[in-house]
Amino acid sequence: MDTYNYNQWGFLSGTVHDIDYNLVNDQQKGSFFKVRCRMDQNFLSLPNGNKAFVGKGNTFNARFYLLDRTLWQLLFDRADNLFNPNLGAKTSAL
């Protein structure tokens, strides 16, 4: 939640349950897909036990964790794309 500093309060974790197929175009926000997530808990907490509950009207930023990649994999993929650009184009189209 934007109100609370994530360095102190931490993050809310959850899972994605639905991604809308329709693209939403907004003049101010740009284009996006609506995503529905289910949170594992409905509050943030401090180490001393204080809790801040999620409420109606709270704003937040979401970060989606997609997959694990090592630094070696990331560097190798970039080098492979540099030396074999046609191979990268064929695999990305699949």
- Taking the domains of the chain in order of start, what are their residue ranges? 6-66
pTM over 0.85: no
CA separation for the pair 15, 13 (Å, rounded): 7
Determine the 3-state secondary structure of 34 from DSSP.
strand
pLDDT tens-digit map of 10-64? 888 888 899 898 999 999 989 988 888 898 998 999 989 899 898 888 888 888 8
pLDDT at 83 (0 to 100)? 66
The phi, psi pair for 57, rounded to 5°, reads 90, -5
CB contact at 8 A, 1 and 59 = yes
